[in-house]
Structure 1
Amino acid sequence: MNGPARKVDGLLFDKDGTLFDFHTTWSTWAGELIEDLAGGDTQVRARLAREMHYDLATRRFRPTSPIIAGTNREAAECVARALPDREVADLELYLMQTSATAPQAEAVPLIPFLAALKAEGIALGVATNDTEYGARAHLGEADVTAFFDFIAGFDSGHGAKPEPGPCLAFARATGLPPARVAMVGDSTHDLIAGRAAGMQTIAVLTGPAPAEALRAHADVILPDIGHIPDWMTA
């Protein structure tokens, strides 16, 4: 990345659908979750799929699913509508624990990608609507936690996207002006949060949202995060 001046000094990444491919990770996890919670009851299975906006035939989330960009609490509330005999708090804990152990499919090989950015002095962060516990578990499994200067979940005290709180917290933590940071994400929640914080916004297509849904909120749309270094100096 030597040569032209780069566009940003900090990159704040969403986690699911951005650092990790969404469907390979989370659609697989959701299918297993539904089977476990249904316990063989076809009616419960159908209710769960309907409330989660999950296609049982293709084993993928539909783009309309509130779970895609929602918090862990919102996901638990969604599941609870199909399981009226279960407490939301219990489901929230269950989702946190099971999702923390879900095998993650890296969008690109993360260690060399992040190491190259750090070598250029780029500040790196993660802001997810997952729990901080889940974020640290997944980043630890990929052995990339140490690359990040900032890691926040919806429960870390900065609020949840699409509010700008997590983005502004990253800027404060790194001492960077928001205008010198790019929020990188696969959902409108990510991009709206970045814009509201005064950041540049990078959309990637490794999540469920199509380019058309992201275009109005993105300064650039890239196939995946591996294209960011070239964009930074273009």
Structure 2
Amino acid sequence: MADIKGILFDKDGTLVDFHATWFAIGDILALRAADGDRDRANDLLDVAGFDFATHSFRPDSIFAAGTNADIVSLWYPHLANGARQALIAEFDRFTTEEGASKPVVLPGCREALAALHATGRQLGIATNDSTGGAERTLLALGVAQMFAATYGYDAVANPKPAPDTVYAFCDFTGLRPSQVAMVGDNRHDLEMAKAAGAGLAVGVLSGTGTRDSLSQLADVILDSVADLPEYLAVQA
């Protein structure tokens, strides 16, 4: 643990309460896609990963772990490429504005980030949200100044679970992948860590992932980011 000099965090479900922040936004987008048909919108939410029985998003579902481009492809499969790109841009704009205006921070998150930043470690964001949406969310949470870099799905050639974001963070900070920890609530986060050769893959149970869904990939599973400073301190 002493060699961990940088930490990449997923955003939604890791720093931000995924369900509280994103269900209302996803519902609006589904209703638009369904032309206001409530039943059809519910079907779209279901196929994207919302479980109406538990009122939560399924682990590793498209809505939980995918990008706006994935959602557009799922909900609008017959669009021509130009129209698809325009709609992805509209989704990015809407989710950036709405997600950044209503983020619900997870308990203990700000304090944990401050403690980790105080150790001198480089902090970064690796999200399948847009880069602009992630940056505005960090500003809304009042933690942007603690982060060296923010990477959305549109900042790299291949988003999570590809290793590109870890490599980009290492290029920017001068760290090696083995010096970087990746923290996230979905398998995509941990798959990226493993693909890149990250030094530590940390699963957190504060989002859509479960102990069962994360256990095969995580080096350690914590209840939330709030537990990370103590874990790293004890392991050092």
Contact 2:59 2:213 in 1 (8 A): no
The residue identity in structure 1 corresponding to 2:206 is T
Shift of 1:220: 0.2
Q: Which moved more, 1:20-29 or 1:8-17?
A: 20-29
Which residue of the partner structure matches residue 89 of structure 2? Answer: 93
The residue identity in structure 2 corresponding to 1:210 is T
Distance 1:118 1:191 in 2: 22
- TM-score w.r.t. the length of structure 2 is 0.87
Does structure 1 residue 226 correspond to structure 2 residue 222? no
Q: Which runs of 5+ in 1 are unaligned?
A: none
Does structure 1 residue 189 correspond to structure 2 residue 185? no
Distance 1:48 1:56 in 2: 12
Distance 1:69 1:94 in 2: 19
Which residue of the partner structure matches residue 72 of structure 1? Answer: 68
Shift of 1:56: 4.5
Contact 1:202 1:218 in 2 (8 A): yes
- TM-score w.r.t. the length of structure 1 is 0.87
Deviations 1:23-45 (A, max 9, x none): 11122322233334434423432
Shift of 1:7: 5.4
The residue identity in structure 1 corresponding to 2:179 is R
Shift of 1:87: 3.9
Does structure 1 residue 206 correspond to structure 2 residue 224? no
Name the SS for the 2:107 alignment partner. coil
Distance verdict in 2 for CA 1:233–1:57, change over 3 Å? closer
The residue identity in structure 1 corresponding to 2:94 is T
- Percent of paired sites with the same residue: 35
The residue identity in structure 1 corresponding to 2:24 is T
Shift of 1:16: 1.1
The residue identity in structure 2 corresponding to 1:214 is L
Shift of 1:214: 0.5
Distance 2:53 2:66 in 1: 23
Q: Which runs of 5+ in 2 are unaligned?
A: none
The residue identity in structure 1 corresponding to 2:212 is E
Greater helix content? 2
Contact 1:203 1:220 in 2 (8 A): yes
Structure 2 counterparts to residues 7-156 of structure 1, below 5 A: 8-56=4-52, 59-63=55-59, 65-81=61-77, 87-100=83-96, 101-102=98-99, 103-156=102-155
Shift of 1:73: 0.7
The residue identity in structure 1 corresponding to 2:67 is T
Shift of 1:118: 1.6
Shift of 1:58: 5.0
Contact 2:31 2:38 in 1 (8 A): no
Name the SS for the 1:11 alignment partner. strand
Contact 2:182 2:202 in 1 (8 A): yes
Distance 1:27 1:142 in 2: 19
Distance 2:148 2:11 in 1: 15
Deviations 1:93-149 (A, max 9, x none): 232122112211112344432222222101100111111111112111112111111
Q: State the superposition RMSD in angstroms.
A: 2.4
Distance 1:119 1:57 in 2: 42
Counting matched residue pairs gives: 229
Contact 1:27 1:59 in 2 (8 A): no
Shift of 1:63: 3.2
Q: Which moved more, 1:114-123 or 1:213-222?
A: 114-123
